Structure 1
Amino acid sequence: MAERRTVPLHERVLPDLLLGRAEEAPDAPLLTVGAGPRRSTGEIADAALRVGGGLARLGVARGDPVAVMLPNREEAVLAWFGTAVLGAVEVPVNTNLSGPLLHHVLSDCRATVLIVAADLLPVVRPLLPTLPLKTIVVVGGTEPGREPGHGHVAWDEVAGADPVAPAKLTPADPIAVMYTSGTTGPAKGVVCPHGYFMCWADDTGRAVRFGPGDVLYTPLPLYHITAQAVNVQLALVHRGQAIVDTRFSPRGFWRRMAELGATHVWSFGSMTPLLHQRPPDEHDRAHRVRVVWSIPWPAGFGREFEDRFGVRILCGYGSTEQGLTVVQPYDAVEPGAIGLPSPHYEVAVVDGHGAQADEGELVVRPREPASMMSGYLGRDRETMAVTRDLWYHTGDLVQRRPDGYLAFVERKTDSIRRRGENISAWEIESTAATFPGVVEAAAIGVPSPLGEHDVMLVATTSEPVEPRELFDFCVERLPYYMVPRYIRFAAELPKTPSMRVQKYRLRELGVTADSWDCEAAGLRPRRPNSS
């Protein structure tokens, strides 16, 4: 039988949790973003109710989507909480998006209100004529600006409104739509119920033994479900505090952790390898950090990392669609595995026919309602495809070991993971295919020395193409983390009889001698929208 969660089923809605914690301990520290002030639970609750009131004055009602395009700053959390207490649905937007990829998200979610940082307005402005947006709430800047046909409101007007009466919600009501990169088409909006966010926070907090007085540090972007449900809401559920940084820097990291009083650190992608590569100094153990959550678990140097920095490395398995379905036990980490099934989810390994197998696709389903996504927004067919046979099909291949641990084998899907981001190969390929002279393009992930992947683009052409020009073309049209590091031109792409590109053969070749490397050329994709 699954162990009982911290938050009872009927209380798993954010307004009830936030206001309950504020009434219980209004002065307890809850949130610090960047170099901003430390905010108490009472301050955050009051501010969220006022933001909810301000959004209601703009015509936002229960169930309405509100798009939020903000970097890591306090207003991003208040926009999320304020939308939730009103009963509306937050749609966090990746701040690195622009052009067609950004247009797709803003169009697909059908939001009529966008909360956006002033310095991101130039990215949004060209798209406005063909979007359903009516009102733009501008955060920061001295002049919100004006766009024909769109009302503009300064954030202070929204945040200074009278408090709203919190909505009466159920755990099944949606709290957010999180866009995740598709592998065969545009990004899909994952509809996340209040109960699902709560389960992420509750389960992960207990897995890392986070409790009152603990401090969670994360530099992860607040448009990700991890920073929201797994970090900020975790601190709220387990009566601790969250510190959300604006960027990660390995230089002086442990000294900063000591200054912040951090007890838990969230690490994704290259963060852990970069810390491991730093030269030893006197601050390596002069801190309170007990746990570093690292995806993936750094099997090559994990034990050495733990000994050097005096921490325990933990990890788990999940996705935007599911939850913490597999987790490494606190006292029994197996570096070569992703962990054991969570007690709150039923897990199976199946072959191509859906039968139980020792190696195959990982499928999961919750033991309680509102513990996973509700589905893909406006995409019933795609929802049914991944939830067939009463199981959610992860698209990941795993091996069940005799000791019960699950070991990751490979992705069944065509996704790439780089810098903590899940990347759609389709989006890279469709962009590259619009470059003059490119006939076909295939994007793959190749091993990176920092862990996860670097992106490689293999293309066929109808005329000579300079890799630097194709690289610059991608820089202007893709988020920095999608821009290929390697570009190789081929006479043809390997294909199946049904004309599908055999990407496994491209991955087997990897980085060849004739592959162009942007870093060898002294180039790096820039962060055009960094703040």
Structure 2
Amino acid sequence: MNAPAAVDPVRPAEGDRYDAIVAQFAPRERVLSTILLRQAKRYGDALLLRCGGVEWTYNDTLAVAAAWAGQLASAGIQAGDRVAIFCGNRPEFLQVYLGCAWLGAIATPINIAFRGAQLSHVLNNARPKLLVVENIHRAVFDSVDEGATIPSLVWTVGKDGITDGSDAVLAPASASPDEIASPPLVRPGDTVAILYTSGTTGPSKGVCCPQAQLFWWGIYSARALGIREGDVLLTTLPIFHTNALNAFYQALLNGCTYVLEPKFSASGFWPSVRRHKVNVTYLLGAMAAILLSRPSEQGDRDHGLRVALGGGVPERFHASFLERFNVPLVDGYASTETNFVFASPIPSDHPGSMGYLMKGAEAIIVDGDDAPVPDGEAGELLLRPVEPFSFATGYLDMPEKTVEAWCNYWFHTGDRVLRGPGGVFRFIDRVKDAIRRRGENVSSWEVEQVLMQHPAISACAVYAVPSEMGEDEVAAALELKPDMAFDPVDVTSFCETRLAYFAVPRFLLVLAAMPLTENGKIKKIELREAGITPDMWDREAAGYKLKR
């Protein structure tokens, strides 16, 4: 199976800069300890981290990693042991993460929104030797199933820092850069973190991310965003997911400052951008739309923000965001299992697309038998890396899922994508979101785009429900704009003039709020599992006849 050659890098003018950074690290050196040692020597007392009133220079960060590796080792943590972290965006998260990466232990962040059976599943899959939990979340572990793997060794993150089981504050002694002992031998293919998927299509899977994968995240993402030495990078996304975590590597490898805020705030976003003199930030899904929904202000362009990641931001918001805030949004595509592999120019020449295949990955689009399909035809996107260990190595203790995903030496993304003229890639929907209705294929994404044009609808999700005639029926969950009434006949007739008859939703369900993951993705699995519910409006039961 031959892959087409990758197109030229999206940032050809910047290519030499990132290639030069890569050249500084031989393949065996693409591990966090070596990166910290080398970058501390280069940048010294320049600021690397600002979080919650805490500031670390590059030298400080090196000392933190070595000191907390020693603290973990004193607690009995060894290379390969898993350390679960149940904590929000705080410097203590990074203290533990950096210590694990230096030592060769495996940081295992857990989404702080997980509860009950979902949390029990992750604990039983990860089997951590140590649990580091933020004090405000301690009670969450009372809800886990009996028999869940909660380790006997628990550290608590509180207002004074991290405490052990005796409530003694842990404060490992740090050394100057010249006094730090050589780190343990860690290889680029060793797992540095296990990041759990949101479980939108089934139980959460623990993605095994090697040391070198995070190195390449720092290179590929920086290239996509045009990051420059000395930039200030701001993220409000949760650090237990790959986006915020890899932004730390972007800063570290490119000589930048990483600003980590507790969470996204529409009212606080621009003040933070101005206060920290931010150049680059990360907006996903609805975040750009939320900022645009706020009243215009005279100082909307009074900032130093140069570019923002806009992955998943709908096409209709790109131009208005640029016009109002003078900030271009970068389209892109990445996943925890892979890397930042698609990006648009700055600004995007095809807003709302995935952009172009970047340097560092190969891609093909295939049918159900893994045979390539021609340009312009939708199929599943398959990816594979160019550099060793730049993608994840599999799913923790899920060999069948690992083999299924990496079948035929390609990673199967589960995303339906098409490659258009000029090499631009467009996301259609998830393979499992495709709906088969009476012999016709229905794209949930296409139906959602139509529904989002309706003046009363603020959010929607289209999914399959069982049909009494076999195959599927089309259902749509809707969230309405404030003070808007729901008229199912009006919504149906609106769709009827814009969609093929077989794609018009039969069932409509109004929700006060969509079920969301911590990253803001709609949990379609919850909607699918609920199936046809009594509060749904049924077009056929109502006697509405579609015109054909």
Aligned twin of 1:494: 467
Aligned twin of 1:435: none
Q: What is the alpha-carbon distance in structure 2 between the residues aligned to residue 82 and residue 213 of structure 1?
A: 25
Aligned twin of 2:85: 68
Q: What is the alpha-carbon distance in structure 1 between the residues aligned to residue 394 and residue 199 of structure 2?
A: 14
Asked if the contact 1:216–1:263 (Cα under 8 Å) also holds between the matched residues in 2, the reply is yes
- CA pair 172-446 structure 1, distance change in 2 beyond 3 A: farther
Asked if the contact 1:445–1:453 (Cα under 8 Å) also holds between the matched residues in 2, the reply is no
How far 1:252 moved relative to its partner?
4.8
Matched, 1:401 2:417: no
- CA pair 123-240 structure 1, distance change in 2 beyond 3 A: same
Structure 1 residues without counterparts, runs of 5 or longer: 146-150, 416-443, 459-491
Aligned twin of 1:518: 512
Aligned twin of 2:489: none
Residue 324 of structure 2 is aligned with which of 308, 314, 327?
A: 308
Residue 113 of structure 1 is aligned with which of 125, 130, 143?
A: 130
Asked if the contact 1:62–1:86 (Cα under 8 Å) also holds between the matched residues in 2, the reply is yes
How far 1:26 moved relative to its partner?
1.9
Aligned twin of 2:291: 275
Asked if the contact 2:473–2:506 (Cα under 8 Å) also holds between the matched residues in 1, the reply is no
Aligned twin of 1:386: 405
Q: What is the alpha-carbon distance in structure 2 between the residues aligned to residue 131 and residue 164 of structure 1?
A: 34
**Structure of larger gyration radius:** 2
Pairing of 1:10-409 with structure 2 (within 5 A): 10-34=28-52, 36-127=53-144, 130-140=148-158, 152=165, 154=167, 156-157=169-170, 159-160=172-173, 165-229=182-246, 231-330=247-346, 333-357=349-373, 358=375, 359=377, 360-409=379-428
How far 1:167 moved relative to its partner?
2.0
The TM-score with structure 2 as length reference comes to 0.75
Report the identity percentage.
Answer: 30
183-192 or 85-94, which deviates more = 183-192
* Aligned-partner SS, 1:268: coil
Amino acid at match of 1:166: P
**What are the superposed Cα offsets for residues 326-356 of structure 1, whole Å, 9 maximum, x if unpaired?**
1113365321421111121011111222222
The TM-score with structure 1 as length reference comes to 0.78
How far 1:509 moved relative to its partner?
6.0
How far 1:517 moved relative to its partner?
2.9
- CA pair 394-189 structure 1, distance change in 2 beyond 3 A: same
How far 1:254 moved relative to its partner?
2.3
Q: What is the alpha-carbon distance in structure 2 between the residues aligned to residue 144 and residue 174 of structure 1?
A: 24
Amino acid at match of 2:39: R
Aligned twin of 2:485: none
How far 1:493 moved relative to its partner?
3.8
Q: What is the alpha-carbon distance in structure 2 between the residues aligned to residue 87 and residue 451 of structure 1?
A: 49
- CA pair 323-142 structure 1, distance change in 2 beyond 3 A: closer
Q: What is the alpha-carbon distance in structure 1 between the residues aligned to residue 230 and residue 162 of structure 2?
A: 40
Amino acid at match of 1:517: L
* Aligned-partner SS, 1:343: coil
* Aligned-partner SS, 1:192: strand
Amino acid at match of 2:395: Y
Asked if the contact 1:445–1:456 (Cα under 8 Å) also holds between the matched residues in 2, the reply is no
Amino acid at match of 2:431: K
- CA pair 29-496 structure 1, distance change in 2 beyond 3 A: farther
How far 1:23 moved relative to its partner?
2.0
Asked if the contact 2:365–2:382 (Cα under 8 Å) also holds between the matched residues in 1, the reply is yes
Asked if the contact 1:446–1:511 (Cα under 8 Å) also holds between the matched residues in 2, the reply is no
**What are the superposed Cα offsets for residues 460-501 of structure 1, whole Å, 9 maximum, x if unpaired?**
xxxxxxxxxxxxxxxxxxxxxxxxxxxxxxxx842675xx7x
65-74 or 321-330, which deviates more = 321-330
How far 1:219 moved relative to its partner?
0.3
Aligned twin of 1:426: none
- CA pair 525-85 structure 1, distance change in 2 beyond 3 A: closer
- CA pair 271-297 structure 1, distance change in 2 beyond 3 A: closer
Q: What is the alpha-carbon distance in structure 1 between the residues aligned to residue 250 and residue 21 of structure 2?
A: 11
- CA pair 511-237 structure 1, distance change in 2 beyond 3 A: farther
* Aligned-partner SS, 1:325: strand
Q: What is the alpha-carbon distance in structure 1 between the residues aligned to residue 120 and residue 422 of structure 2?
A: 47
- CA pair 153-390 structure 1, distance change in 2 beyond 3 A: farther
**What are the superposed Cα offsets for residues 432-484 of structure 1, whole Å, 9 maximum, x if unpaired?**
xxxxxxxxxxxx999679999656899xxxxxxxxxxxxxxxxxxxxxxxxxx
Amino acid at match of 1:167: P
Q: What is the alpha-carbon distance in structure 2 between the residues aligned to residue 91 and residue 412 of structure 1?
A: 28
- CA pair 143-267 structure 1, distance change in 2 beyond 3 A: closer
**What are the superposed Cα offsets for residues 268-326 of structure 1, whole Å, 9 maximum, x if unpaired?**
12210011112211221111100011121431021121122111210211111111121
* Aligned-partner SS, 2:240: coil
- CA pair 142-49 structure 1, distance change in 2 beyond 3 A: closer
Aligned twin of 1:434: none
- CA pair 509-108 structure 1, distance change in 2 beyond 3 A: farther
Amino acid at match of 1:83: C
Alignment coverage as a number of residue pairs: 452
**What are the superposed Cα offsets for residues 374-416 of structure 1, whole Å, 9 maximum, x if unpaired?**
000111111111111111111111111121111111111359x
Q: What is the alpha-carbon distance in structure 2 between the residues aligned to residue 161 and residue 129 of structure 1?
A: 38
Asked if the contact 1:52–1:164 (Cα under 8 Å) also holds between the matched residues in 2, the reply is no
* Aligned-partner SS, 1:301: helix
How far 1:25 moved relative to its partner?
2.0
Q: What is the alpha-carbon distance in structure 2 between the residues aligned to residue 367 and residue 188 of structure 1?
A: 24
* Aligned-partner SS, 1:265: strand
How far 1:37 moved relative to its partner?
2.7
Asked if the contact 2:54–2:91 (Cα under 8 Å) also holds between the matched residues in 1, the reply is no
Aligned twin of 1:6: 21
Structure 2 residues without counterparts, runs of 5 or longer: 1-5, 10-14, 435-447, 478-502, 519-548
Pairing of 1:452-491 with structure 2 (within 5 A): 454=460
Asked if the contact 1:446–1:454 (Cα under 8 Å) also holds between the matched residues in 2, the reply is no
**What are the superposed Cα offsets for residues 134-180 of structure 1, whole Å, 9 maximum, x if unpaired?**
200111057999xxxxx825583264588775222221111100111
How far 1:38 moved relative to its partner?
2.4
* Aligned-partner SS, 1:32: strand
Amino acid at match of 2:153: T
Q: What is the alpha-carbon distance in structure 2 between the residues aligned to residue 169 and residue 115 of structure 1?
A: 23
* Aligned-partner SS, 1:376: coil
Q: What is the alpha-carbon distance in structure 2 between the residues aligned to residue 369 and residue 333 of structure 1?
A: 31
